[in-house]
Structure 1
Amino acid sequence: MPDADRPQELPARLLTDPEMINACQVRDFASVFRLVKTKAGIYPSMIARRCELTPSRVGEVIAGQRRLSHMDVVERIADGLRIPGHMLGLARRAWETPQALVATDREVPYGAEPESEQRIPASLPGPDVDSILALATRTSLSPGTLEAFRSSIEDYWRRDDQHGGEALRPAIVGQLRYVVGLLKENRPPSIQNGLYQIAAELARLTGWTHFDARQYNQARAYFTEALQLAKEASDHQSIANVLACMSLQATYQDRPADSLALVTAAQDQARSTPDSTPRVLSMLSMREAFAHAILGNRDSTHQAIGEAHRQFGQIQTGDQDPAWVTYFDEPKLIVDTGIAHGRLGDSVTAEPLIADALQREDRANQRGRAFHSFWLARTQLDQGKLDQACRTATQALEPASAVASERVSGHLREFYDQLAPHRQEPVALAFEARLRELLPPVSGSLHP
């Protein structure tokens, strides 16, 4: 295909423009087409050709006389205009390049040479060569290869706990695309099934990094892809885990009824297979407790907590737990129990549970320490223990600043907002000063 006919990438400034993001999110193609015209120089006739639409139809859309909602048309627009799938609520498009391989465009004066640091080092192969070399190795996949993939995923999760997933995401997405590419070839069923499971976990991990950054639309898109991949592998435990992640996200989006429906579906999936372990069922019961607590269902919350502890008590040394649930140890069970009570407003019960778990928690888990310290501070503040609550929240700031997690940072700014009645107290002023030092304010989130 000649270069003139090949769809060009939209400018990064347009794809990151809030107006464009909002228009894509609600699929307001009248605004999308206008923005593409004014900011990318792609006129209606070119839009029509790229998206396989008639010029009159594009004109009607721009004039507000017609709306486009059919999925086939939405996909043609994404592919024709090179709008990343997640912006339109679609799965990742086949043409999207792994972020690790995308070079940032910059304007260079006519006739000038680009600066050396902008060039791809000559010692590194280009993406096309990478693809060719990958083809040469695909015939030798073995169970050992799958174990290597699983080991890298475990390392991703460990680094995510320590530093957050933002910096890891390009590598994770690149590996996800590579594994999805491997799935296009015929392989022995055991290898193919293992690849589907690995791809599902990589998609879930990618969704998690978006969720932790509070990028909920992107997270949902990747979680949905993870569900589809896990379904191809008939991996009911993995399906349950993805649904549990989506349930947790629904609590953050203030949709507790959705949260309960998703975690109930997760439990149904887990119970449909004899492979589910007590640790998996315990974790899912605790997620159910969170949903009930937000809904204010006190009795149901206590029942779910009781079931979580009952299942945990049945864990045996030889259980074949999936790697993704091994984080759910006794301190995690205890701290989640405290958080569930805290969500119910029972801070007197919650405080000692969270405090005990924090003492035993792995100190390498920076995000967990910050997150759980916030909850301890919140339960202390609910009891009127202002000095203690501010000291606890201040202690949470150091691990929070060490990990890229907008979810955790948001909780600590939320705590600051809860201090409004005490804003002039010395301990509150000290917390505010430390908060501003370690977690600079984002627009509209922290007021003087």
Structure 2
Amino acid sequence: MPDADQPPELPARLLTDPEMIEACQVRDFARVFRLVKVRAGIYPSVIARRCELTPSRVGEVMGGKRQLLHMDVIERIADGLRIPGGMLGLARRSWETPQALVAAPREPSVVARSTKSAPAALPGPEVDGILALTARTRLSAATVEAFRSSIEDYWRRDDQHGGEALRPAVVGQLRHVATLLKENRPPSVQNGLYGVAAELARLTGWMYFDSRQYHQARAYFTEALQLARQIDDRQFMANVLACMSLQATYQDQPADSLALVSAAQDQARSDSGATPRVLSMLSMREAFAHASLGSRSSTHRALAEAHRQFGQVQVSDPDPSWVSYFDEPKLVVDTGIAHGRLGEAATAEPLIVDALRRERHTNQRGRAFHFFWLARIQLDQGKLDQACRTATQALESAAAVASERVAGHLREFYAQLTPYRNEPVALVFEARLRELLPLVSGTLRP
């Protein structure tokens, strides 16, 4: 029988609802509270009482006028509404542990009572109010640079490990910066904050794209476009549109992919500061779109333009930081992948081999993708032994990254092995797959 002093748990159907899970992951408490009201019949006044909030504060959150960012408040919501800590990115809550497993506390030893009384709690406004005061302090260009530095770190960690664990932190920072944008600040700082917010929104969209949650990815990419438009950053808008083009390719929407990358190129060309590296990257995305449509001549033309533009890259070019990943090995490997998409395996294979030899080993997800593309191309040429050995190399990188896109490539390659499942080399690969990636291999049909 449940403890009468403890609030009842939310219905299991609500806690397992994808919309509730998504709202909790991004800490969108406006949605969480609305879902709790509609699906569990818990009204705002009760939510306020359980979570130790004022009713007016809950109303402001539900109306989108206020955000809840402080960890103390988030923990009170988890405990008051009985939302498991893991859903909100918190540690396991004490009430989640069955009572039978909780160790009995030791009897306190007798200690002489101190003559000093414990300090009283400091009076003052609630924690959110204190944070609001600090948000109104004068920000400097150094603060904006600190935000950008953290974004670079997020990208580096995303390349190495995937973005699943990072996403709540990125979304939280995006919301924090969005709050800062509501204050009046010097134009240089305000524009810098808009740029930071746009980068955070694109990164969030990318993380959702990598987890194959395409609807959420598109929403954040759109937000990134809107933020970049506020400061007329056309190169960054082109970058976001290029990301959306790549997503459309994955969604098997090649016509949309081509339309989006064409719009990206229009944005970049309308900016006299667009660098050759940016234009080269966009031409490569155009080549991917044409290859998905099966247009051989248009793909080759776009590839030629990508290489022509890259040939004009200078060390002194004022390249945006977000395009620095597009180096020569990336140009080469993407060229190989474009040829592979067209079925030109003999041309594609040496290009990808060369790029894998030269590219950075820190980008685990990128290497996993490139090894798998090489494996698929080798299999297309009937090189079963080489293909399986290459795919096994890919597993070493894939095992270090939480990426549903990587898992998708695994499933595709495994499906391609169907005619050869009983071959010794295929059996060795399958065993290695099940050893390194049991969650993925568990979804594979025997």
Pairwise CA distance, 1:20: 8.1
Whether the aligned pair in 2 keeps the contact of 1:263 and 1:288 (CA below 8 Å) is yes
Q: Which runs of 5+ in 2 are unaligned?
A: 1-8, 23-34, 45-57, 85-93, 104-120
Change (3 A) 1:446 1:149: same
Whether the aligned pair in 1 keeps the contact of 2:336 and 2:347 (CA below 8 Å) is yes
Change (3 A) 1:184 1:36: closer
Pairwise CA distance, 1:409: 1.6
- Pair member with larger Rg: 2
Match of 2:144 in 1: 146
Change (3 A) 1:257 1:433: same
Match of 1:14 in 2: 14
Cα distance between partner residues in 2 of 1:212 and 1:436: 22
Q: Which runs of 5+ in 1 are unaligned?
A: 1-8, 23-34, 48-78, 84-91, 117-122
Change (3 A) 1:237 1:341: same
Match of 2:349 in 1: 351
The superposition leaves residues 332-368 of structure 1 with CA deviations (integer Å, 9 ceiling, x where unpaired) of 0000000000000111100000010000110111011
Change (3 A) 1:98 1:285: farther
Match of 2:41 in 1: 41
Match of 1:240 in 2: 238
Match of 1:4 in 2: none
Match of 1:274 among 269, 272, 275: 272
Pairwise CA distance, 1:140: 2.5
Whether the aligned pair in 1 keeps the contact of 2:135 and 2:180 (CA below 8 Å) is no
Match of 1:204 in 2: 202
Alignment of 1:222-301 (within 5 A): 222-301=220-299
Change (3 A) 1:186 1:277: same
Cα distance between partner residues in 1 of 2:65 and 2:405: 30
Alignment of 1:165-244 (within 5 A): 165-244=163-242
Cα distance between partner residues in 1 of 2:385 and 2:338: 24
Alignment of 1:437-448 (within 5 A): 437-442=435-440, 445-448=443-446
Match of 1:409 in 2: 407
Cα distance between partner residues in 2 of 1:37 and 1:147: 41
Change (3 A) 1:13 1:362: farther
Match of 1:399 among 397, 400, 416: 397
Whether the aligned pair in 1 keeps the contact of 2:433 and 2:441 (CA below 8 Å) is no
Match of 1:6 in 2: none
Cα distance between partner residues in 2 of 1:191 and 1:20: 36
Pairwise CA distance, 1:16: 3.6
The superposition leaves residues 353-401 of structure 1 with CA deviations (integer Å, 9 ceiling, x where unpaired) of 0010000110111011101000000100000000000000011001101
Q: Which amino acid in structure 1 is aligned with residue 147 of structure 2?
A: F
Q: Which amino acid in structure 2 is aligned with residue 149 of structure 1?
A: F
- Structure 1 counterpart SS, 2:316: coil
Runs of 4+ residues deviating >3 angstroms: 9-13, 18-22, 35-39, 92-104, 106-109, 441-445
Pairwise CA distance, 1:136: 2.5
Pairwise CA distance, 1:414: 1.1
- Structure 1 counterpart SS, 2:338: helix
Q: Which amino acid in structure 2 is aligned with residue 232 of structure 1?
A: Q
Q: Which amino acid in structure 2 is aligned with residue 41 of structure 1?
A: G
Higher alpha-carbon deviation: 136-145 or 183-192: 136-145
Cα distance between partner residues in 1 of 2:351 and 2:195: 35
Pairwise CA distance, 1:129: 2.1
Whether the aligned pair in 2 keeps the contact of 1:100 and 1:171 (CA below 8 Å) is no
Cα distance between partner residues in 1 of 2:239 and 2:70: 26
Match of 1:88 in 2: none
The superposition leaves residues 9-63 of structure 1 with CA deviations (integer Å, 9 ceiling, x where unpaired) of 98685264259899xxxxxxxxxxxx98995236xxx79xxxxxxxxxxxxxxxx
Match of 1:389 in 2: 387
Q: What's the TM-score, normalizing by structure 2?
A: 0.77
Residues 1:322 and 2:320 are matched in the alignment: yes
Whether the aligned pair in 2 keeps the contact of 1:99 and 1:174 (CA below 8 Å) is no
Q: Which amino acid in structure 1 is aligned with residue 194 of structure 2?
A: Y
Match of 2:337 among 336, 339, 343: 339
Change (3 A) 1:391 1:95: farther
Match of 1:369 among 349, 358, 367: 367
Match of 2:311 among 294, 310, 313: 313
- Structure 2 counterpart SS, 1:140: coil
Q: Which amino acid in structure 2 is aligned with residue 245 of structure 1?
A: C
Q: Which amino acid in structure 1 is aligned with residue 421 of structure 2?
A: R
- Structure 2 counterpart SS, 1:402: coil
Q: Which amino acid in structure 2 is aligned with residue 293 of structure 1?
A: A
Change (3 A) 1:38 1:241: closer
Whether the aligned pair in 2 keeps the contact of 1:98 and 1:170 (CA below 8 Å) is no
The superposition leaves residues 115-151 of structure 1 with CA deviations (integer Å, 9 ceiling, x where unpaired) of 89xxxxxx9xxx9525623533543211111111111
Match of 1:431 in 2: 429
Q: Which amino acid in structure 1 is aligned with residue 178 of structure 2?
A: V
Alignment RMSD (CA, Å): 3.2
Change (3 A) 1:416 1:154: same
Change (3 A) 1:93 1:256: farther
Cα distance between partner residues in 1 of 2:419 and 2:364: 30
Pairwise CA distance, 1:93: 5.3
Q: Which amino acid in structure 2 is aligned with residue 309 of structure 1?
A: H
Whether the aligned pair in 1 keeps the contact of 2:284 and 2:335 (CA below 8 Å) is yes
Cα distance between partner residues in 1 of 2:334 and 2:12: 41
Whether the aligned pair in 2 keeps the contact of 1:247 and 1:259 (CA below 8 Å) is yes
Aligned residue pairs total 375
